[in-house]
Amino acid sequence: MEIRKPYLMFLGDAHDQLAVKTAQGVVDWRRDWCLGQLRLEGCKADLGLEDMTIAEAAEAGVKTMIVGTVSPGGVLPDYWVDTIVSALDAGLDVATGLHKRLGSVPAIAEAAKRNGRQLFDVRFSDETFATGRGTKRPGLRLLTVGTDCSVGKKYAALALEAGMRERGLKADFCATGQTGVLISGRGVALDAVVADFISGAAEWLTPANAPDHWDVVEGQGSLFHPSFAGVTLGLLHGSQPDAFVVCHEPTRTKMRNVEHPIPSIQSVIDRTILEGSLTNPDIQCVGIAVNTQALGEDEAQALLKSISQEHGLPATDPVRFGVGPIVDEIVARFGS
């Protein structure tokens, strides 16, 4: 799956800015790919991009319209279908993270066929995977893991890709969730893969590469989350990371959507090394990414210092203070 660039961001009639979170993620991380936005009447969201019609977007060289918006009611409204058909008629591909396949709407399927255009439903995987082999491959891999779901694993991986590239390292973000796929234009939504092929899909995503090349892999779930630990373990085995970064949200008291307590950072480090060593005996933790959004500046700095000292590892908030200390650690351990 490789989505053609550049993009037109379709916002529909989004009720608020939160409804375009996925689209905002693409703009935050891939501003250069986003030539404009298309908003329907009543749209209350704004990505700060130039407003464009489909004709203007096609004229400007846009290749794909991204539907990165949660629609009212979670379904695809008829008046969005008209816009999607127009985009296909103008020669654009269309990519979405909706729960329903674009091709399941007859008008959209016909328009795609009529124009020879591609539809990307990033929540679904049409790729056929082999089962995982667990054999060591050349190339370096870094995985972000978490004390819980939704603690900044995608953000940390994207920030590390950027920070490592700035430092002259060869690094590529590998998306394992739908937003990540739209941001990077490729990847696989791992939660949608059939269970037998989780580690195989992770191997497919992070194939053999040059010895000094880093795949920076977006983590999923947590080894301690009773809903999703199977996905986390399959991703860990398949991506066989040389290095991992633990992501943590210090104000959370229990795991997302369940009653389980948040595990300690140390137990996540220990368990990740224990399980990860099945496919990479040299796996090591290179840093801790903490989401300090809920804390004041001084409090955040004090917490990071304390976590860093406790674990003997760099600890930072990638959003607030950057990933510099973790990139330093990577360079120190693996070379530049």
Which spans of this chain sit near its own copies (rule: CB under 8 A)? 131-135, 190-196, 198-200, 224, 226-235, 237-238, 257-260, 275, 278-279
| Residue 161 one-letter amino acid | E
Going from the C-alpha of 126 to that of each of 101, 120, 218, the distances in angstroms are: 11, 10, 20
Q: What are phi and psi of 285, to 5 degrees?
A: -85, 130
Minimum Å distance from CB 100 to its own copies? 14
Nearer to its own copies, 38 or 188 (CB): 188
Minimum Å distance from CB 278 to its own copies? 6
Nearer to its own copies, 32 or 259 (CB): 259
Minimum Å distance from CB 229 to its own copies? 5
Nearer to its own copies, 120 or 224 (CB): 224
State how far Cα 264 lies from the chain centre.
24
Q: Strands (DSSP E) along 14-77, which ranges?
A: 34-39, 64-67
Edge-first strand order for the sheet with 170-174 is 170-174, 213-217, 140-146, 243-248, 284-290, 315-316
Minimum Å distance from CB 336 to its own copies? 31
To which H or E segment does residue 94 belong?
strand 93-96
3-class secondary-structure state, position 310 = helix
Minimum Å distance from CB 187 to its own copies? 15
Minimum Å distance from CB 227 to its own copies? 4
Give the residue carrying structure tokens 């791992």. Answer: 190
Minimum Å distance from CB 291 to its own copies? 23
To which H or E segment does residue 272 belong?
helix 265-276
* Positive or negative: CA dihedral 252, 73, 27, 185: positive
Nearer to its own copies, 131 or 336 (CB): 131
Nearer to its own copies, 187 or 287 (CB): 187
State how far Cα 309 lies from the chain centre.
29
What's the CA gap between 13 and 19, in Å, rounded?
10
Nearer to its own copies, 96 or 232 (CB): 232
Exposed, middle or buried, 20 (CB in 10 Å: 0-12/13-18/19+)? buried
Minimum Å distance from CB 258 to its own copies? 5
Nearer to its own copies, 18 or 278 (CB): 278
Nearer to its own copies, 229 or 303 (CB): 229
What's the CA gap between 43 and 11, in Å, rounded?
7
Q: Which two tokens stand for residue 13?
A: 């009639």
